[in-house]
Structure 1
Amino acid sequence: MSRPTPRLARLAAWIAIPAALVASGIVVSQASYSAYSATTVNPTNNWTAGSVALTDDDNNTALFTASNLKPGSTGTNCIAVSSTGSLPSAVKLYGTGAATTNGLSTYITVTVTQGTGGGFGSCSGFTATAGAANTFTGTLANFASTYTNYSNGFGTWAPTGATQSAPSESRTYQVTYTLSSTAPNTTQGGTASLGLTWEAQNS
């Protein structure tokens, strides 16, 4: 086989160079190509749960610590309960931890009334809320067995939810007790106790 002449070899080299440049240009063109684009963004989304919150003004002190009672003994006290939660709710009152000896709780009559004004230690300025559903009158034993949890609790208070301009809403509960004048001799030395719980649930 004959070898190409020097002139033909040089011509072939010159022809190869442009072909290589063209191929390289295609690669560069493809690598630098960029499509148009556009985006739109919704700012960061946030979720915050509302709250249901109750406080009272008793300073962790019982409404009554009544001792040495006799037939006809009576007493009255008030307690203010405040709602500071952001959600609308319904508030109910019920008894907890009922206990008695000598049947004393069946001879103590209690009246519980929902209203406004007054507070713990003084019912001065208290005004009852109208309506039979806002007053209970019966024995201590009856209150304890009737109002045992939120679902059957006493009261009609429905806070609308705290706002910046109205950060809290309050109701006062007036409680009066009387040991029946007909309490039998068997109740001597007897005891009765009952805790009061206010619970709010959002509506």
Structure 2
Amino acid sequence: MRASLRRGRRSVLAGAVPVGLVLSVALTWSSTHAAFSASTANPGNSWQTGSVALADNDSNTALFQSAVETGLVPGATKSRCIRLDYTGDVPADIRMYVGTPAGGGATLDSYLVMSVERGQNVTGTTMVAPDCTAGFTQNATRTFLFNTRQANDPLADQAATLTALRTRADYTTGLSLGTPVAPGTSLTLRISYLVKDDNNAQRSRSDATITWEARNT
């Protein structure tokens, strides 16, 4: 009986070894060849922001200066021209707004009829004379951004005064120069004033900061 049991155990053990080897090989094969694979990649990703850049051809000096615009009398009028160069690399909306410098006056505001006119675009090297004698060419259909005519025109809107223009006090309320401009655009503007024939305008003075601001669209 005992000999028979010993022979049975040897048979079981002998049979278990090959089975164990088969399972071991199967597990090894399964672990090393468990899945198919494939991959793809998108190398070289990068990001670059655009820029907004605006300059003018008068080196940030005043268009109208009290040393010149002094002793004004009813009917006094003048126009000043400027070139704005947009050199950013994304389209931008440009607006004009008017502020009051610290300690500045505003008592002449309601007696100054104002107009802002956009002329034809030019190149960035075009000389636009501050006194408008060169470089500014009005459009075939004149483009007034403020007022309906030039300030010294008898038919100009007399309500379009510096008081009204000064309500354009920041970019949000600013005077739009038109549709957004493309990079490399140089615009020309003509700003004019006329002193009203009103006796109350005596001994009055106004000061203003004119700002041109571009923001990408």
Structure 1 length normalisation: TM-score?
Answer: 0.69
Change (3 A) 1:141 1:19: closer
Q: Distance in 2 between matches of 1:111 and 1:48?
A: 40
Give the number of equivalent residue pairs: 193
Question: Structure 2 counterpart of 1:25, which letter?
Answer: V
8 A Cα contact 1:107 1:179, kept in partner? yes
Change (3 A) 1:157 1:16: closer
- RMSD over equivalenced CA pairs, Å: 3.7
> Residue 51 of structure 1: CA displacement?
4.2
User: Which structure has the larger Rg?
Assistant: 1
8 A Cα contact 1:76 1:177, kept in partner? yes
> Residue 160 of structure 1: CA displacement?
4.0
Partner of 1:187: 202
> Residue 193 of structure 1: CA displacement?
0.8
Segments of 5+ residues of structure 2 without an aligned counterpart are: 152-159
For the pair 1:121 / 2:143, whether they are aligned, the reply is no
Partner of 2:62: 62
Q: Distance in 2 between matches of 1:183 and 1:58?
A: 33
Change (3 A) 1:201 1:23: closer
Secondary structure (helix, strand or coil) at the match of 1:30 reads helix
Question: Structure 2 counterpart of 1:88, which letter?
Answer: P
8 A Cα contact 1:58 1:120, kept in partner? no
Q: Distance in 1 between matches of 2:114 and 2:41?
A: 63
Q: Distance in 2 between matches of 1:100 and 1:173?
A: 25
Change (3 A) 1:17 1:191: same
Partner of 1:165: none
Partner of 2:30: 30
8 A Cα contact 2:129 2:135, kept in partner? no
The equivalences for 1:141-160 within 5 A come to 141-145=163-167, 147-160=168-181
8 A Cα contact 2:82 2:189, kept in partner? yes
Secondary structure (helix, strand or coil) at the match of 1:91 reads strand
Q: Distance in 2 between matches of 1:155 and 1:29?
A: 74
Q: Write the deviation string for residues 93-114 of structure 1: whole angstroms up to 9, x where unpaired.
A: 221227535x322333333221
